[in-house]
Amino acid sequence: MRAAVVTSASLVTCGNFQHFLHEAGLAWDEAVAAGSPWQDCVRESATNLREMLLSHRDGARVFGGTFVTDESLRGAVEVPMGILTTAGFGPDDAARAWGTLLAFVLGFVAEEQAVDRRELDPSQTAAFEERFGFGVDVIVAGL
């Protein structure tokens, strides 16, 4: 049986969550295949996850507000966890690092989605991009 959450906008299943995390994991795969350092993998993953969440109405709120226990999600985090442990992080630290990044992206996107982007001028849109990049860089530097 698949877990599901019903919102006023849509029906979101664990399959959607798995897709979000799977796509974020693919970003790590691609960056590693290109020979990128783990720090670049983290940045790429955060950016891709943000874009995916923004592509769905209330994506961050729905994704972040749901407790998912589906075992199939384990595979979606194995790639980023593997990259972090290969980079020298212990399993607990890798999990904390990934969780910190995920929490930042979810919170940032929830704030972004609370604003009607059609009403923003280009400088306000650029400010979101700059703030997001700065936040991810702070997390990476702290790891």
pLDDT at 31: 59
Q: Please say if the pLDDT value at position 124 is more than 80.
A: yes
pLDDT at 123: 92
What lies within 8 Å, CB to CB, of 81 at 6+ separation is: 91, 94, 95, 98
The closest of 98, 13, 26, 104 to 56, measured between CA atoms, is 13
**3-class DSSP assignment, residue 58:** coil
Q: Which of 28-42, 82-96, 119-133 has the lowest mean pLDDT?
A: 28-42
* Digit-coded pLDDT (tens) for 10-41: 334 444 555 655 555 555 556 555 677 889 88
- Cα separation of 43 and 73, whole Å? 21
pLDDT at 89: 94
* Digit-coded pLDDT (tens) for 43-70: 888 888 888 888 888 888 877 766 555 5
pTM of the prediction?
A: 0.74
The closest of 23, 44, 24 to 34, measured between CA atoms, is 44
- Cα separation of 129 and 46, whole Å? 12
pLDDT cut 90: percent of the chain above it: 27
